[in-house]
Amino acid sequence: MTDTTALDAAHAAMEAAPQDDAARLRFFERLADAELFLLLTEEAADENISPELFDVADGRFVLAFDREDRLARFAGRPAPYAALSGRVLSAMLAGQGIGLGLNLEVAPSSILIPAEAMGWLSDTLSHVPDEVQTRIAEFHAPKGLPENLIAALDAKLATTAGLAQTAFLVGTVDAGGARGHMLGFVGAVTEAQGALAKAASEALTFSGIEAGAMDVGFFAPDDPVTAHLAKAGLRFDLPQRSEQRAVRPAPGSDPDRPPILK
């Protein structure tokens, strides 16, 4: 397989513009959202995993790959691994003094990411948006938002399959006359509202906008507000799950409980 992955593309953009903070942020966002295959010394047991650790001049690293075939090519043999997201891996490594070797020797996105950078990613992803009550007096088309924020929202919402029906980005005026923007989710799964709010917050953070702010709201399909959102807003159609499958819990499947290093 020679297909370019999202991490390959983001890494190439970052390497092509080493002074571009936005490109670097986009790479780390793709890393957080990616499913990674972490090389282990033995098969995982419960929530305990034993990653292969490699000591080099730049520090100690675990190795992970964004495709199974890349891991197999690097190992050159059948090797145990754990599949987990980049966000879970960053939480697992936080405070351990261990960095990440990503796609080493087998992909254009081969890179050593130091422990400090993985710690920064974990801290950034741990931010939880504040919950406030705001009375909106008016909705209008969003104005003045940079294209990289729209692209960041589009990419982030593509990872939220089955969590809501759709979303609308609108400009707002609250009861006090203050202007802002809101991302309104329609038909969101109740248990997923926190995750959706966090996804929107991460899109704003990783878009590189200084001092940016965006509210998030949740509305039922038959809520009268939904019609106003649809009329004024920029629409994002979220991917839907075609079927619900029972999945056996695996190490790293719960973002709030990263695997334990053995």
**Which tens digits make up the pLDDT trace of 48-79?**
889 999 998 889 999 999 999 999 999 998 89
Q: Is the torsion defined by CA of 105, 106, 108, 109 positive or negative?
A: negative
Name the range with the highest mean pLDDT among 110-124, 125-139, 190-204.
110-124
Superfamily of segment(s) 6-126: Uncharacterised protein PF11572, DUF3234 (3.40.1350.90)
H helix runs in the chain, sequence order: 6-16, 21-33, 68-75, 86-93, 115-125, 147-157, 193-206, 224-232
Check residue 163 and give its pLDDT: 94
Q: What is the mean pLDDT of residues 80-85?
A: 94
- What is the Cα Rg of the chain in Å? 20
Check residue 63 and give its pLDDT: 97
CA distance 89 to 68: 16
DSSP type of residue 251: T
Q: What is the mean pLDDT of residues 128-144?
A: 81
pLDDT at 90 over 60: yes
SS3 260: strand
Strand partners, 48: 45, 260
CATH 3.90.550 for domain 136-237: no
Contacts with 69 (C-beta within 8 Å, 6 or more apart), sequence order: 1
Q: Is the torsion defined by CA of 158, 156, 212, 223 positive or negative?
A: positive
pLDDT at 43 over 80: yes
DSSP type of residue 176: T
Q: What is the mean pLDDT of residues 85-93?
A: 94
Answer whether 6-126 and 136-237 agree in fold: no
Written as one letter, the residue type at 112 is L
pTM: 0.76
Domain boundaries of the chain, sorted by first residue: 6-126, 136-237
Check residue 242 and give its pLDDT: 64
| CA 160 to each of CA 155, 193, 199, 206, 259: distance values in angstroms, whole numbers, following the listed order | 10, 11, 8, 17, 22
CA distance 236 to 166: 6
Written as one letter, the residue type at 4 is T
At 151, the pLDDT band (50, 70, 90 cuts) reads confident
**CA 198 to mean position of chain CA atoms:** 9
Locus of tokens 């920064």: 120
Check residue 212 and give its pLDDT: 58
Locus of tokens 């709010």: 197
Check residue 71 and give its pLDDT: 96
Strand partners, 71: none
User: For the chain, what is the mean pLDDT?
Assistant: 87
